[in-house]
């Protein structure tokens, strides 16, 4: 199979339509057989549930070319399960988990020429999503739904790749207690649009959100979970019911414990600990971001600089990043069941 002629090394995190996407419809109370489609457009009724009351959930995962030339995905079963949970919380019919994984395989196989070659640093980002398709005007779930998966070849999420970023503490909240912060629904990202636009305008790469109830605890950023390393070299992982259960974070915790012999401390992390310089490294983690080091946090003019600095990723985050990428690219042996070989 001949690869597409793209400038793989210089891809950014952006959308580019590729040959095939997967489409399945939910009608009359049941999921229909899905199929691949050439059409990147969705035509909707003006009163479709997704357009009126934002009934949408999504996922993000990647296809990688390994060192020995295979094409693989990383833990797609966890994306299938999380999307199932997200749909249930939104009163949407959940897409069957085994069919989700099969559909991922089909899309990647059909677009193998778009999966970036090994060694380029790029990957094929996959975006499964589901939305309310039929019309609703009184507040109620739609009757009919559409499930789709498209792919787009991507480079690093943040400009500069693994160069440390500067983030700020947001004045806005992302997720309410007992709200929807723990699921992956487009509405959570709509909540963060104003905060991200103003953050970018002020020169920050992302926002750190504090817990909405007390504004004393670290939650996550707009598109990733947060990790810290303390002075003893322990990986400190903020625990909260209102953040997304990141698959990257859960995998990194396993990698830190079983591959790197680090101590792990998963607990609520108080903002005051960050202000008190209790941590020597900080980073954000997610499918799109992998691990991006945070060099500096600006809390309304109070600057927290991490000892790892603004030039290089810190040593612990570096080891975690390299090990995880090594597992994903087939350079490091993966735990059982983490890698789904597609081609």
Terminal Cα-to-Cα distance of the chain (whole angstroms): 11
How far is CA 39 from each of CA 21, 31, 150, 208, 264, rounded to the nearest angstrom?
Answer: 8, 20, 10, 37, 46
Nearest distance from C-beta of residue 65 to ligand PLP, angstroms: 20
Residues 204-233 that bind ligand PLP (CB under 6 A): 220, 223-225
> Site mask, ligand PLP, residues 21-60, x = CB under 6 A?
---------------------------------------x
Contact status: 244 vs ligand PLP (CB under 6 A): yes
Annotated catalytic residue within 20, 62, 105, 184? 184
Q: Which does 182 bind (CB under 5 to 8 A by kind): ligand COI, ligand PLP, none?
A: none
Detail the DSSP E strand segments found in 254-318. 264-267, 279-286, 290-299, 302-305
Neighbours of 172 (CB within 10 A): 16
Half-sphere exposure of 235 (CA within 13 A, CB side): 26
Residues 68-87 that bind ligand COI (CB under 6 A): none
How far is CA 336 from each of CA 223, 250, 327, rounded to the nearest angstrom?
Answer: 28, 15, 11
Is 65 or 246 the residue whose CB approaches ligand PLP more closely? 246
CA nearest 217: which of 247, 253, 181?
Answer: 181
Contact status: 287 vs ligand PLP (CB under 6 A): yes
Q: Which does 294 bind (CB under 5 to 8 A by kind): ligand COI, ligand PLP, none?
A: none
Tell me, yes or no, if 159 is annotated catalytic: no
Structure-token pair, residue 145: 């739904």
Helices (H), 90-123: 97-110
How far is CA 210 from each of CA 200, 226, 284, rounded to the nearest angstrom?
Answer: 19, 11, 14
Contact status: 196 vs ligand PLP (CB under 6 A): no
Contact status: 288 vs ligand COI (CB under 6 A): yes
User: Which residue from 49, 153, 164, 223 is in contact with ligand COI, where contact means CB under 6 A?
Assistant: 223
Is 166 or 287 the residue whose CB approaches ligand COI more closely? 287
User: Which residue from 76, 94, 128, 286 is in contact with ligand PLP, where contact means CB under 6 A?
Assistant: 286
**Distance from C-alpha of 273 to C-alpha of 336, rounded to nearest angstrom:** 36
Stretch that binds ligand PLP, among 18-26, 41-49, 240-248, 319-327 (CB under 6 A): 240-248
182, 180, 13, 314: CA torsion to nearest 10: -40
Q: Which does 225 bind (CB under 5 to 8 A by kind): ligand COI, ligand PLP, none?
A: ligand PLP
Size of the site for ligand PLP (CB under 6 A): 12
Backbone angles phi, psi at 186, to 5 degrees: -55, -30
| Residues that bind ligand COI in the complex, under the rule CB under 6 A | 60, 223, 286-288
| Residues that bind ligand PLP in the complex, under the rule CB under 6 A | 60, 220, 223-225, 244, 246-249, 286-287
Q: List the catalytic residues.
A: 184
């Amino acid at each position: 199979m001949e690869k597409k002629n793209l400038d793989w090394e210089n891809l950014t995190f952006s959308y580019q339509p590729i040959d095939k996407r997967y489409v399945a419809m939910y009608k009359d109370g049941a999921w229909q057989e899905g199929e691949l489609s050439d059409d990147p457009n969705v035509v909707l009724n003006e009163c479709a549930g997704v357009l009126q009351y934002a009934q949408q959930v999504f996922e993000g995962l990647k296809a990688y070319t390994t060192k020995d030339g295979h094409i693989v995905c990383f833990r797609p079963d966890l994306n299938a399960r999380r999307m199932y949970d997200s749909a249930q919380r939104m009163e949407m019919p959940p897409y069957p988990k085994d069919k989700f994984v099969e559909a991922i395989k089909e899309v990647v196989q059909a677009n193998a020429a778009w999966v970036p070659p090994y060694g380029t640093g790029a990957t094929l980002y996959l975006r499964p999503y589901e939305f309310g398709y039929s019309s609703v005007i009184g507040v109620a779930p739609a009757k009919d739904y559409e499930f789709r998966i498209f792919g787009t070849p991507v480079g690093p999420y943040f400009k500069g790749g693994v160069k440390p970023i500067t983030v700020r503490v947001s004045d806005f909240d992302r997720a309410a207690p007992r709200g929807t912060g723990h699921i992956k629904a487009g509405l959570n990202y709509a909540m963060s649009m104003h905060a991200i636009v103003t953050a970018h305008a002020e020169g920050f790469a992302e926002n750190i959100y504090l817990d909405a109830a007390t504004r004393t605890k670290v939650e996550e950023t707009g598109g990733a979970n947060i990790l810290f390393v303390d002075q003893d070299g322990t990986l400190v992982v903020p625990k909260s019911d209102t953040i997304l259960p990141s698959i990257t974070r859960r995998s990194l915790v396993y990698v830190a414990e079983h591959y790197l012999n680090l101590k792990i401390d998963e607990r609520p992390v108080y903002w005051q600990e960050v202000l008190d310089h209790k941590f020597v490294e900080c980073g954000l983690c997610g499918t799109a971001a992998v691990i991006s080091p945070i060099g500096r946090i600006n809390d309304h003019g109070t600057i927290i600089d991490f000892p790892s600095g603004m030039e290089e990723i810190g040593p612990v985050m570096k080891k975690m990043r390299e090990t995880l990428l090594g597992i994903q690219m087939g350079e490091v042996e993966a735990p059982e069941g983490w890698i789904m070989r597609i081609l």
